[in-house]
Amino acid sequence: MKKYKIAAIPGDGIGKEVVPAGQQALEAVAAAVGGYQFEFEVFGWGGDWYRQHGQMMPADGLQALKGADAILFGSAGDPDIPDHITLWGLRLKICQGFDQYANVRPTRILPGIDGPLKRCRAQDLDWVIVRENSEGEYAGVGGRAHQGHPIEVATDVSVMTRVGVERIIRYAFRLAQSRPRRQLTVVTKSNAQRHAMVMWDEVAQEVARDFPDVHWDKELVDAMTARMVNRPATIDTVVATNLHADILSDLAAALAGSLGIAPTGNIDPERRYPSMFEPIHGSAFDIMGKGLANPVGTFWSCVMLLDHLGEQASAQRLMRAIERVTQDTSLHTRDLGGTATTAAVTAALCRFVAEA
Ligand code: IPM
Ligand code: MG
């Protein structure tokens, strides 16, 4: 029987609660569909590992992940460790080490979820945001000098390469082409950022020629926030830089009803390395260890993982079960205004997967 090796990295905070829930969901779907199995290897990296070893993951950690078919990630973040250390020491180390340059963030208003927009019907909001995930504002280039002195200087340099821009825009056009509306919005800020963002626009123009069947338009990032709120139905697939898409995807998740639902895939489209799937919510210390975390973001991330593995029937089955969960308000967790626990939601989901 086909066996998929999944590296599970719960990480910190509620990651430790939602990743095991995701594993259960994947087991349930494999049992229901049949023909393949999952083999999980769990890595206890993150804040606790840092306290013991002085780093978020072992120096040769990427080597241990390399043979996996996919990675299921929880979150990185710890109240006692600076955020830039937890982020760069684990999640970005994997994203950048494995050149997972396409970060894909679908957003929909799922059945039973009451979004905050008055005039937005569920069918008006069906977006995928493609985030450049390897460079730009997160390139890590910059420095500090004269720390603590009045002449202190600090820079974070956004780095855009033609190769990096072209590959993400091409990926986004291809994704847009695969969706029914074949529509792409390229988000930019080339009015103010007159070098890299101008190149970004030029590359979009060039790549667009290879996709004559995709309607595309360009939107400045600030105007995009207003368009997402006021005219959600005019949007389908979106591509944006690392930081722009980081911000837009939080807005998207909020407009769809909760950050607890939103999934993401950090994809290496060339499949040289394993891709990594994770809920976009963080480690949420305020509720950790209480069994209150919403596992739906992780379940949806598992749908993306299954899709990536080529198990489309399983992906669809899991998505149908997720929609049954969200439809039932007694299965809503606290972020959705309900009182359901992570365990109750997970048990119901596994039941729906078996029935579907
Ligand atoms: C995300 C998160 C991260 C990011 C944080 C945790 C640094 O907000 O995945 O969107 O900004 O990339
Ligand atoms: Mg974010």
Question: 286-318: per-residue pLDDT in tens?
Answer: 999 999 999 999 999 999 999 999 999 999 999
Q: What pLDDT, in 10s, does the model give residues 123-166?
A: 999 999 999 999 999 999 999 999 999 999 999 999 999 999 99
CA distance 293 to 63: 31
- 221 Cβ neighbours under 8 A, 6+ residues apart: 187, 188, 189, 240, 244, 247, 248
The C-alpha atoms of residue 60 and residue 47 are separated, in whole angstroms, by 17
Name all domains of the chain by residue range, CATH numbers in brackets: 1-101+262-356 (3.40.718.10), 116-142+157-255 (3.40.718.10)
Catalytic residue among 12, 78, 246, 307: 246
Average pLDDT score over the chain? 97
Mean pLDDT of 188-213: 98
For ligand 1, whether the C-beta of 78 sits within 6 Å is no
What is the C-alpha separation between 177 and 156, in angstroms, rounded? 35
Tens digit of each residue's pLDDT (9 = 90 or more) over 53-103: 999 999 999 999 999 999 999 999 999 999 999 999 999 999 999 999 999
How many Å separate Cα 281 from the centre of its chain? Answer: 9
d(CA 102, CA 166): 12
Q: What band does 356 get if pLDDT is binned at 50, 70 and 90? A: confident
For ligand 2, the distance from its centroid to the CA atom of residue 246, given in whole angstroms, is: 4
328 is an active site residue: no
Mutate to test the pocket of ligand 1, among 101, 246, 281, 301 (most ligand atoms within 8 A of CB): 246
246: annotated active-site residue:
yes
Closest ligand 1 atom to residue 246 Cα is: 10
Amino acid letter for position 341: T
Q: pTM of whole model > 0.85?
A: yes
d(CA 176, CA 195): 26
Residue nearest to atom 12 of ligand 1 (CA): 246
What are the DSSP calls for 240-271, one per residue?
E-HHHHHHHHHHHHHHTT-TTT-EEEEE-TT-
273 is known as an active-site residue: no
Q: Whose CA is nearest to atom 7 of ligand 1?
A: 87
